[in-house]
Amino acid sequence: MSALPDFARTRIGQRAIAGAVLLLAALFPLAFDSLATQMDVAIFVLAYVMMALGLNIVVGFAGLLDLGYVAFYAIGAYTIGWLASDHFTGIGGEKGIHVLVSDFVQTSLGIHVNFFLVLIAAMVIAAVLGALIGLPTLRLRGDYIAIVTLAFGEIIGRIALNGDEITFGEQQLTNGQQAISPVDQPFLPGAGYEFDSAFNLRPYYWTGLVLLCFTLFVNFRLRDSRLGRAWIALREDEVAAASMGVPLVRTKLLAYAAGAALGGIAGAFLGSYNNAINSNQFQFSFSIFVLAMVILGGMGSIWGVTAGAFALAVIDRYLIPEIFDDLPSTFGLDFQLTQLSFGIFGFLLVLIMILRPEGLFPERRRQMELTEGVGTDETVYEARM
């Protein structure tokens, strides 16, 4: 290969490239109007990349195919809906409960907790739920895990949808298809600054970028940790890993919990930015969308997944709805391209799996597993022997 990949392989080279990309990303909002469509797209892209990196821990590192990842998006989003909006008006009496919020929110009813505290709460709640969902899958392998996680994802989606029927006292659990809205804007208590998505998207963008950097940091540190090596060992050969002393239960549950925690943060961030938590956002197709990002980039490869998520998020939020939406009608066809977005992702999944199953930017180790048959992810024939 050329000189550039060689440079990119060295430690300094990698850091230099990462630093340059980060700098570009940080300066990106200055090139656009503070309310430009591109800003809106970029914020979604950041959140989607975070979710893809979270799912990458479960699917890419630990090799547990999770088809219900949308559950953690939902949990994160509902955490902010519950803890930072007027939704639970009856709780906290006449005054409501307020923790470190702006003067503007101070007067409203319900529970209002500072955005940044809610992020931590979302992370913890999602992690606990992730481990709980992981519990029944511990004895299962392969596609059975996929189905159980899918079932959990669907159950949580259903609870979100029908949550307006679950009441305690006067309170509904969720608002179903009528969103929980508005949600409090993030507020920096020290600086006394409150975000306002109606006037300026830049603070949201930068917050998202900081969260994404945190997510990337967590991903790298986890991958190189003892736990990360245990995950990879588990992915390559569960039996061998167990006999080498890798505690299966703890390792698997931690993978689910870590992946879920990142999804919860991204969900809370996105819920706050959307300013509405609507049960329609949490459908199975979203799980597959995130999975497609991980697979496109290359399961287990952190930069690959970042790139894959970036590409799919831009396609989903920008290219399909903004640029190519009217493409079919220019050919005289009677539909919008947005109707087909999930068909396009499905097609992409099939194509990648058949042509380049290791993804666009595979991790070297994972590629070896696939091409040289390291690891015991059984093929269809071997499964029978």
Distance (Å, rounded) from C-alpha 160 to C-alpha 165?
A: 10
Nearer to another protein, 22 or 368 (CB): 368
Q: Note whether 150 binds another protein by CB under 8 A.
A: yes
Q: Closer to another protein at the Cβ: 146 or 258?
A: 146
Nearer to another protein, 171 or 376 (CB): 376
Q: Should residue 239 be labelled a site residue for another protein when binding is judged by CB under 8 A? A: no
99 near another protein (CB under 8 A): no
Local structure of residue 146 (DSSP, 8 states):
H
Should residue 284 be labelled a site residue for another protein when binding is judged by CB under 8 A?
yes
Sequence-distant contacts of 333-341: CB under 8 A, at least 24 apart = 341/316
Cα separation of 59 and 75, whole Å? 19
Q: What number of chain residues touch another protein (CB under 8 A)?
A: 51
Site string for another protein, 47-66 (x = CB under 8 A): ------------------x-
User: Should residue 90 be labelled a site residue for another protein when binding is judged by CB under 8 A?
Assistant: no
Q: How far is CA 192 from the centre of its chain?
A: 29
- Name the residue nearer to another protein (CB basis): 182 or 373: 373
249-259 residues labelled b (16+ CB within 10 A) or e (exposed) = eebbbbbbbbb
Identify which of residues 92 and 346 has a Cβ nearer to another protein in the complex.
346
Closest CA relative to residue 205, chosen from 273, 305, 154, 264: 273
Nearest approach, Cβ of 93 to another protein (angstroms)?
33
Choosing from 151, 248, 319, 360, the residue that interacts with another protein (CB under 8 A) is 151
**What letter would DSSP give residue 84?**
B
Q: How far, in Å, CA of 153 to CA of 155, rounded?
A: 5
Residues 333-372 that bind another protein (CB under 8 A): 335, 339-340, 342-343, 345-350, 353-354, 357, 370
The DSSP result for 265-333, as a single string, is HHHHHHHHHHT-B-GGG--HHHHHHHHHHHHHH-TT-HHHHHHHHHHHHHIIIIIIIIISTTHHHHTT-
- Is 136 a binder of another protein (CB under 8 A)? yes
Nearer Cβ to another protein, position 70 or 150?
A: 150
Does the footprint of another protein cover residue 384 (CB under 8 A)?
Answer: yes
295 binds another protein (CB under 8 A): yes
Q: Assess contact for 241 and 233: CB atoms under 8 A.
A: yes
Q: Does 250 bind another protein (CB under 8 A)?
A: no
* φ/ψ (deg, to 5) at 231: -60, -45
Contacts of 158 (CB under 8 A, 6+ apart): none
- For the bound state, the minimum distance from the C-beta of residue 351 to another protein, rounded and expressed in Å, comes to 8
Residue 152 contacts another protein per CB under 8 A = yes
In the structure encoding, which two tokens stand for residue 178, read together? 């009528």
Q: Stretches 5-13, 16-24, 141-149, 183-191: which one binds another protein (CB under 8 A)? A: 141-149
**What is the C-alpha R_g of the chain?**
21
Candidates 6, 224, 322, 378; binder of another protein (CB under 8 A) is: 378
Query: Which residues contact residue 340 at a Cβ distance below 8 angstroms, ignoring those fewer than 6 apart?
Result: none
The residue ranges that bind another protein (CB under 8 A) are 65, 67, 136, 139-144, 146-148, 150-152, 154-155, 158-159, 161-162, 165, 284-285, 288, 291, 295, 335, 339-340, 342-343, 345-350, 353-354, 357, 370, 375, 377-381, 383-385
